[in-house]
Chains A and B, each alone.
Chain A
Amino acid sequence: MSQTEAVFWFFAAVSVISAFLCITRRNPVASALWLVNTLFALAAIFILLDAHFIGALQVLVYAGAIMVLFLFVIMLLNLGRDTGTDMLGWAGRIVMLAVGALLATELLVLARVVPDQRFVLPAGTLARITEEQGAVGAIAAPLFRDYLIPFEITSVLLLAAVVGAVVLAKRRL
């Protein structure tokens, strides 16, 4: 087991345990914080997979911005109090876990997929590009060249979301 793999498995274990705790904690604040933990672990795994910029974004946007938004809303709605469980009873849990387990099995079957060798890049290509163009440049080049129009449309989407959020959440317009 190489060093990289060891690190990978460590963070994988952290993310799975955090995710499990995230969905089982009764308190929404705890759930949110366990999710943040999962996201940090995933950010580490992203970096292991040569996606340095995305890893940074994961921490900044997800763990930083989106989760803060969640916590704000939880506090705004005053949900932090212990108001009894919101989970199903035992029978429901068993059914749901069965469904979840079944889904996991299915997906694990899919996970055994091997990409067509014709499309696979030589090992270390991404690492080399990152080295040559920098972590930002590695993703900026395709983003602003091949995906320029989707990028611009995304900005419109975000604008629409901002307007929509304001309209929905405001008490009176």
Chain B
Amino acid sequence: MLLGPSLGLSAVLFSLGVAGVLFRRNAIVIFICIELMLNAVNLSFIAFAQQLGRSGQVIVFFVMAVAAAEAAVGLAIMIAIYRHKDTIDVREINLLRG
């Protein structure tokens, strides 16, 4: 029974991802941290799937598809921003400022 330890690991990895997002400024690295968080969540799904049925695995399948789509679009946006501003430092990108 690895449910408890798996969820714990998931929690630790997720928190590491959040911490990374919080204190990195490079958009690519922030992106990487988001992938880390997604995987932490996937781990929870897989752990629950072992006890509650295969639906959890199917959800993980969908998460991966969404992650792939997100990576493609997100990285494309980053390229576009880099072309525009010559940097991907999030401190330099504040188009949403009110």
Instruction: Let me know if chains A and B touch directly in the complex, using CB atoms closer than 8 Å.
Output: yes
Q: Which residues of A approach B to under 8 Å, CB–CB?
A: 4-5, 8-9, 12, 15-16, 19-20, 22-23, 28, 31-32, 35, 38-39, 42, 45-46, 48-51, 53-54, 57-58, 61-62, 65-66, 69-70, 73-74, 76-77, 79, 86-88, 92-93, 96-97, 99-101, 103-104, 107-108, 110-113, 115, 119-121, 123, 126, 129, 138-139, 141-143, 146-147, 150-151, 154, 157-158, 160-162, 164-169, 171
A93 to B23, CA, bound (A): 7
With a cutoff of 8 Å between Cβ atoms, the chain A residues found around residue B10 in the complex are 107, 111
- How far apart sit A23 and B47, CA to CA, in the bound complex (Å)? 25
The 5 A-B residue pairs with the shortest CB-CB distance in the complex, in nearest-first order: A100-B19, A107-B11, A23-B20, A161-B69, A111-B7
| B2 closest partner in A (C-beta) | A8
B50, A38: Cβ atoms closer than 8 Å: no
Verify B50–A51 contact, CB threshold 8 A: yes
Q: How many A-B residue pairs have CB under 8 A?
A: 237
Range, interface on chain B: 35 or more
